[in-house]
Structure 1
């Protein structure tokens, strides 16, 4: 009897393609996504977008400036001065910034390299420092040795001619020493500062947007699932007989789910503003437009998934798969700047990435409404495309019926 029950359940599972996907395909895919993310987070091979300026006017500073442009793990953007570096970090154009303040090979107590960090991307500054240190050790070891020698002379006095000769020989042999794993020591290279921005905690602002779009997707697919139930119960056939037919029915559901999403996100940001000081009211217009665009994009996507499904089980499978994958790749679970470069690029195909970027830009960096235009345009395109697909698929169900 036990064997018969197991056989019946096995046959049921084999006939249900959606359940097969959820059981055997989705877990490995989610593992691959998170493995790629956390490998990048925990390893030393995570790329960093960095704005770099050389204010030193020195040979050593210029050598480091040029080497940074060929560093494999740093996407370097050259700018003119420290103010431009700060602007790039503050605006989000760069994950972190590097200013070569003085000759990194010279002695002295002042750090020759200034790293500018965005509080919302604090890990990026640490990664940039690690990449620069690695670059100096592997490609410019003479910088570290010269700095060490200059610091030693400031303590014990100038070298004798014999000591100078020995030191120059050490410089010539530095590349060989590094190849053997002997990294040069040159004192502290870095000073670190945080760029000024709005008052709210950056991680709170980030995850307010990330959680908002995540639950917009979940609530939208729940609301859109009523389409499947209405087709099964016969209500769908009666509704499409009304003036406007299936198009009016889809538009009505879209309007309701969008309004529901706006109210849902409003409550979330009220809590974020009251408890953590997220600056919603000073940027209410950009916040409201972003919220409406996000709710419209997610509701139309959910309706398209529901219209594509023939049964409630298919709708649940498609929706769960889509919500989890979009949220993982789009940054709702892990910040995208911590992901490998290829996964960061893939994230731009998701509405999550654009919603989070728009909220971050307006509420954390204080961006003007026109600066949000690219993100808002993409979200509107999602909404329009999802509606068109939903209407076409709904009409197909009428013909099939």
Structure 2
């Protein structure tokens, strides 16, 4: 009991110093909120605002009806913002990073694409100009363009004038080859197919004239899609909120920076002789270290709670999973942070050198932990490495009990991993402090 009184007094002293430093308190609470709001917004926010459109440049060098229909179809795509431009402008915009993707529709493309529908030997070529950093945009544009090309080409070939002319030309060429004795086995089968196809075109044209239908329809995708976001809590509340991940990442980052400051303050106290005066008091070294760690952990937990309250009230972040799980992850991360600060204080030689190394280490941990961007975007080999980094467990734990809607049991592995790091960091720090004392 007697040893507990000075321990509590030391913790109370640290808390008073933290609260009285208004500028540091404001920055500690305000900066993660501002940055989390920014990152959450650019990654989609609460999911209610309209998604940003893909800027697509089109260089139309062909005036064929098929090509015009392809361009018109792309302009109707809700996910695209299509801009017609000359080739030189498209190349310059993509080169400067002001345009993600541009596609060149070359002269003769429409006619050649129609011919290629039945003749795979000669296919017209489309050129994509794209920013190397925007591969995902390129893949999406290719998918939408494929749909428009197939629909426009097949529509013209089935019931358009150009399709009828192409079939007549093909039949004439096949007849000439057969008359010259150059016909092949598959040519006879192709000739029979095109003859039947010609009858189908004629009937399509007759039906369109009788019903006064002028619009032509081609092949379309033989399926539709339905998107369903998979979270543990289905329904309207299960909608993904990008602010949830952004706030988790910024909490992890700024609380780690706070731990760096806590560790540096111990080094400064040692450099100024304050640490030795504290050790001369009737309190053991271990008690002094534990008090410092607990006060740092309490501050970290307080900051986490305040930031999440702002996230919930202002940015509509929902705790779809276990509230108890959120508290457990926050407490275990606060303790891990405190032990990390002690590790810096124990192994740092000077405040200046320790600050540079610890800030660098913190930024690496934050980056690999998925605080800036989700870790699933990393290559698989890098994702495996991040499992040995405490920030990965912290961010995933916060995500699990907020927008993923998982229960308390799902948060236990994250809590266990964070406590394991806490034990390792604390043991190393205590060993180093006691080793330095004996020297």
CA contact (8 A) 1:129 1:190 kept: no
Structure 2 runs not aligned, ≥5 long: 1-134, 161-166, 172-188, 195-217
Decide whether the 8 Å contact of 2:323 with 2:401 is kept in 1: no
State the partner residue of 1:34: none
Distance across 1 between alignment mates of 2:396 and 2:191: 56
Return 5+ residue gaps in structure 1 as ranges.
1-125, 138-145, 167-184
Distance 1:200 1:192 in 2: 15
Give 1:153 deviation, angstroms: 10
Aligned length: 250
- Structure 1 residues 170-319: aligned runs within 5 Å: 187-188=220-221, 191-195=225-229, 197=234, 198-199=237-238, 201-242=240-281, 245-280=284-319, 283-319=322-358
Match in the other structure for 1:63 = none
For normalisation by structure 1, the TM-score amounts to 0.54
The residue that corresponds to 1:372 in the other structure is 411
> How much has 1:151 moved relative to structure 2?
9.2
Tell me, yes or no, if the aligned pair for 1:199 and 1:277 is still in contact at 8 Å: no
CA contact (8 A) 2:257 2:362 kept: yes
For 1:366 and 1:262, the matched residues in 2 are separated by 21
- TM-superposed deviation, 1:243: 5.5
- How far is the alpha carbon of 1:211 from its aligned partner? 0.6
- Kindly tell me: are residues 359 and 322 of structure 1, through their superposed partners in 2, closer, same or farther at Cα, counting changes over 3 Å? same
The structural deviation recorded for 1:208 is: 1.1
Structure 2 Cα separation of the partners of residues 164 and 309 of structure 1: 85
Distance in 2, matches of 1:212 and 1:361, equals 15
Distance in 1 (alpha carbons) for counterparts of 2:394 and 2:321: 19
CA distance in 1 between partners of 2:352 and 2:341 (Å): 15
RMSD: 3.8
Distance 1:292 1:276, change over 3 A: same
Q: Aligned runs of 1:342-361 on 2, under 5 Å?
A: 342-361=381-400
* Residue 162 (str. 1) matches residue 201 (str. 2): no
How far residue 244 of structure 1 moved from its aligned partner, in angstroms, is 5.8
Structure-2 change in CA distance of 1:129 and 1:270 (3 Å) = same
Whether 1:322 and 2:361 are equivalent positions in the alignment is yes
Q: Distance in 2 between matches of 1:255 and 1:384?
A: 14
Structure 1 contact 224–253 (Cα < 8 Å) conserved:
no
